[in-house]
Amino acid sequence: MVSSSSLYSSVSTSLPLPAASSSSGAPALLILPPSHLITLLPSLKQLVSTPVVIQVATTGDHAQVLALKSAGLALVYSSSPAQAKDNAVVAARVASVTRKAVLHFGEFGQLSTEGSLPAAGAVEKDVAKAFAAAFDKSSTAATSTTGAAAPKTLLLVLGDASPFTADLPADWAVTSISLYRPIKIADLIPKSVETVVVLEQNYGKAKYNPLFLDVVGSYAEAEDNAAVPKILSGTIGVNVEASAARAAIEDAIKSSTNPFLVSTLPYDTSASTVAAAPKIPTHESTYTSLLSEVFGDRLWVSNAPKSLLPSPSSTISATSPEYALGHVLGSSTKRASLLAAVRSALASSSLDSATKKTLSDFLQNDRSEKFAAAAASAVAGSTDYALASVKEIIEQPDVPFVRKSNWIIGSEAWSHDLGSSGLHHALSTGADVNLLIIDTTPYELPSPDSPAARRKDAGLYAMNYGSAYVASVAVYGDFSQTLTALAEADAYPGPSVVMAYLPGGEDDRTKALKMLTDTKKAIEIGTWPLFRWDPSAEKRGEEQFQLDSEKIKKDLREFLDRQNHLTELSNRLPTFGEALENGSGNKMVEAQKKKAKAAFEALAGALEGPPLLVLFASDGGNAEKLAKKFAGRARTRGVAARTLAFDDYPIEDLGKEENVALFTSVAGQGEFPQNGREFWKAIQNPSFKALGDKVNVTVFGMGDSHYWPRKEDAHYYNKAGKDLHKRLLELGATPFVALGLGDDQDPDGPQTAYKIWEPAMWKALGVDNFESTEPELEPITNEHIKIASNFLRGTIAEGLEDKSTGALAESDGQLTKFHGIYQQDDRDIREERKAAGLEPAFSFMVRMRLPAGVCTPAQWLAVDEISDRRGNHTFKLTTRQTFQFHGIIKANLKPAIQEINKMALDTVAACGDVNRTVMCSANPSLGPLHAKVFAFATELSDQLKPQTSAYSEIWLDKKLVAGDAVKDVEPMYGDYYLPRKFKIAIAVPPTNDTDVYCHDLGYIAILDDKKELLGFNVTVGGGMGVTHSMQSTYPRLADVVGFITPEQGLEVAKAVLTTQRDNGNRANRKNARVKYTVDRMGIRGFMDEVEKRLGYKLQPARDFKFTSNVDEFGWQTGHDGKRHFTCFVENGRVQDEPGKPIKTGLQEVAKIHKGVFRLTANQHLIISDIPPEEEANIRKVLVKYKLDSTDFSGLRLSSAACVALPTCGLAMAESERYLPVLIGKVEKIIEKAGLRNDSITMRMTGCPNGCARPWAAEVAFVGKAPGSYLMMLGGGYHGERLNKPYREAVGEEEIIEILTPMIKSYALERLDGERFGDFVIRKGIISATTSGKAFYEGQFPGKEQ
């Protein structure tokens, strides 16, 4: 009996709910245990809009409650009975005024239903406002904060916060959350916060907890330069003690452990939730574990391996569909016998009235667990003879009163041949059987040929029967929809078919991240739509078809119009064929067509908003990202948007579309990007069918107006987008939004135009008044890949075994960088292979870790052999003093790494977001000093190397770490490693051959009068990477920050590295290097943090002087009398060419050399430590193979180039293959001016990432498009000053035209000892770059107007 002053109109402990009072406005109260929340799923949509308070008393674990966090329910948490009393009133008031459901959960027992509600009035549509008003009238609050007003560390707690509030550090605060939904995370985190620790009581199986994911997601849209705090996820266990809890949190913060545990869990969460859960194939466990959670003890997987087996002589497998169906039908027969026996017993006059009522209730609803349990109890406690037959039946196996949820698990094999498979038999029987068919077909883009090759769709086949429940689900796409479908299938009184997507699931080695991304792609383009089809819904006045994803396949739309309907009807109804022959089947045919039309209309109308096809063509990825972001925003407004690359779209379907938005960037001289060229060719064809005015089109082009500074070239700007727009209109399409042209030179880049174009699109589509509250889907970034990689393992090992492709998975391609490996393809033949229907010619670049660039002759010979046996018969000496192989195919990758290991070297940390190869001056005249700095470089390289054992497991076949029994740790890097790469160089004055200022961290050796090592000046904050036309990115030279002793060198490196680890920008990789962290914090602020970690301040920097950063070629004698020869290897490429047998010659040198080889940072080679008596032998080999010559121009000797085309995937133009040609032409100018022997540093790269350190050269060229380069002037000859952009887009003709008068003027007007870079500044040709941030100031003074 509810009190007259009750908060609630009615109280229930099960569905359906009693109706809420409309007159009083009081909501209903539904009291449920956490385990029963799953029963809400089928009615959740209606429940959300019902005035009801769902009260759930938890016992510490919130996992089952928080699984509903995205269901639209308001969620209120109470950590104690006292708080729950107040929050119960708040929940009731909000449910009353909003007429919506509120879920109140927490650690409390039975609560009072007494209280007062506001007078009935207008409905408050804003739930957040309703909560604010309700909390204002309550003694409790939505959130409560204890501690510092401007904290640096914030504990965000959804759970019992009491253990965390005692004795807080001065700069900590604790915020306890009562209102979890709706919530604005940004309002809870002060701007002063540097670390957010999210603490939750969630003991589910997910790696990351719900609130943590909310917090991370709240920063997804942060500005590029916005400060993003470190975010950690902690789980609150049981029996939490305050001091131990604080210690656990401090340890997690210090080590960046994520996630971590506070205290201990109440039970082993890895154990199965059902004690008798059957053993099942691994790939099925993703879904069968859900079955266990939903149905608990009622679950019966009839074809599980541990099910009742047939006789040993049987040839039928217990796991086969045919056996399982027979097993289920046999069980159904036994249950029918039980029901018949109960009916017979009810006819007996000897049964007492109470027992009769109990059994009658059971017969009326034998699916009710409550009635079944009561009936079982009544029968067990009765001695009446009338129940003897009932008792006899229930004593048999598999005949309980409580109905089992029977499931048959099948793979896509069930639908290979529908005419003879178990699916056909299951549907034909009409039995109450549930089929879970797991489709593990790997994801692939649709093609014109794929429908013919694709297996028949079992879901569509079942829908044609008209009497089966059918659902298409994907646990990695929509978890709640999957649970709802399983619950609905179980409740449906007839056959149910649930098609479950698990791409790649047939391989136990496929990782969840791969399945997640492939599932998202399949749902996105419609190859795996999410839907539910319930034939019984029509009787309830509900829609039979529920579309749960935005895109549906064409064949699903047309499934009832198939030509084989008559055959299927004949199979299902034997009388149908005879009726058709007699001419009396026309009514049945018409009925079937009518049903088909109705179903199609339901399918077509299931989309909530207008359809929209979004196509993109993109080389660099910017147009693709913008297109996908636009499509995602469209979907949140109800638009049925789908996204594809131009060339992945079946062009013949373009005329069938209603609305099409096309995004394209531009390549070369106005050409389309690579993945849009076939599309463009097709619509240019005169035979291409006109589109007609029913196709609405719009184009958004992306380009850079500064690419084409000359008036005669201006038409190339955004040419692809403009040409595409013009052609679509010629084909008759209707422009429903004007052409948008994004320009990199606008204040916000392409966003300036896009911010105008996008609202116009919403208006054209009729969704301009819609405001979405759904967050945009967070893209998978490098940070996600790293944390999900299990310490750099990913699925690399599995990918190496995949013989179907020459590539690795995209996420693994990011991880292999940490192993020193880049995936590439031969871009010279990309188009030809695509035209031939082949995948790109994938191969791998492998870079070795070689501290200070020193190797033995034996190691050189091994490198040479590997390049022939595994690579493309060449190798490269890089600008980081190491070896680099190209052209290694996947099958040769592991053998190559093992052969490198045999020479006592490795490739680990040669790339990736870690410290990379440590560089060191290679000057042979350094004598014993080189030995000391070489030893220091080796120490840094070894001590800063990642500690994961993944490298040895994957490549060297060392013992694998089994599951989670042994867990890797990265004591220095943590789970996320660094935000970006980290580079260290050591220079010994007077030669800056390593370009020490260009690195994140540098050491400049300081010598005493006796040339002994006193210590090092430390430099911090250098870096070369830039993005074209994005002025928030820039090169930067390091600052000299102080002096240290040699013994302090390693600890300084660790302090700088961990400061970057904890403060670098992880939200935007383009601003993630140390240089940006230094500029954001200020060099003094950065060093304050470094010195805080060191526990001491650096000494003032000592004096030093650099005079050059190029190599000294030819013969030199060391202090010990040993000889050294610096050999010119142009751009570091070791290969044999006609007239230049460099590779063979150096191989012959290595065979007789008794010293070592030193690779230089300028890509050359020092044959070092030659005993005087061996010099003649070395000279003979050098002369024989033409390696002895150093008679090259000073310009050529001072040049450097990166690899670029054809292998580098980032290259926009040629570099290594073109720079020697360009220098040959500039040399003519140099020689004419009498400057042949003058050193001028000239560098070229194919992209702005700066591998050859172009931004520090006197003259430099950075590729922007084939044959087009950004030209820089004014760098310092000693590497002490950045250059500055002089011309934005120049080709060879312009380069010669610019340099000719400039070099002539330099020859005639230079001062004594004046370098070319200094000269162009003094003459006002270019202004000096004083800092990285000033790089763009005064750029392009020579640009034509």
Active-site residues: which are they?
A: 847, 916, 981, 983, 1202, 1208, 1247, 1251
3-state helix, strand, coil in the chain (%, to 5): 40, 20, 45
Among residues 811, 815, 825, 814, which one has the least CA distance to residue 792?
815
Coil, strand, or helix at residue 711? helix
DSSP state of 318: T
Alpha carbon distance 433, 1085 (integer Å):
68
What does 1148-1184 look like in DSSP terms, one character per residue? HHHHH--SEEEE-TTS-EEEEEE-GGGHHHHHHHHHH
Query: Are 1141 and 1186 contacting, i.e. CB atoms less than 8 angstroms apart?
Result: yes
Among residues 335, 272, 275, 280, which one has the least CA distance to residue 303?
280
Alpha carbon distance 678, 675 (integer Å):
7
Element (H, E) at 147: strand 143-147
Q: Are strands 854-855 and 875-877 parallel, antiparallel or unpaired?
A: unpaired
Alpha carbon distance 914, 948 (integer Å):
12
Alpha carbon distance 1203, 550 (integer Å):
44
Alpha carbon distance 163, 43 (integer Å):
38
β-partners of residue 619 are none
Query: Are 1343 and 711 contacting, i.e. CB atoms less than 8 angstroms apart?
Result: no
β-partners of residue 1099 are 1043
| 187 conformational bin, left if phi > 0, alpha if psi -120 to 50, beta if neither | alpha
Q: List b or e across 861-898, with b for residues whose CB sees 16 or more CB atoms inside 10 angstroms.
A: bbbbebbeebbbebbbbbbbbbbbbbbbebebbbebbe
Coil, strand, or helix at residue 353? helix
- CA 278, distance to chain mean position in Å, is 34
Packed helices 1083-1094 and 1049-1063: angle between N→C axes, nearest 10 degrees: 120
Report whether the peptide linkage leading into residue 759 is cis, meaning its omega lies within 30 degrees of zero: no
Alpha carbon distance 526, 529 (integer Å):
5
Residue with tokens 């027969």: 333
Per-residue tokens: 1340: 């392009």
CB contact set of 165 (below 8 Å; sequence gap of 6+): 146, 147, 174
Query: Are 1154 and 1117 contacting, i.e. CB atoms less than 8 angstroms apart?
Result: no
Alpha carbon distance 1277, 1281 (integer Å):
8
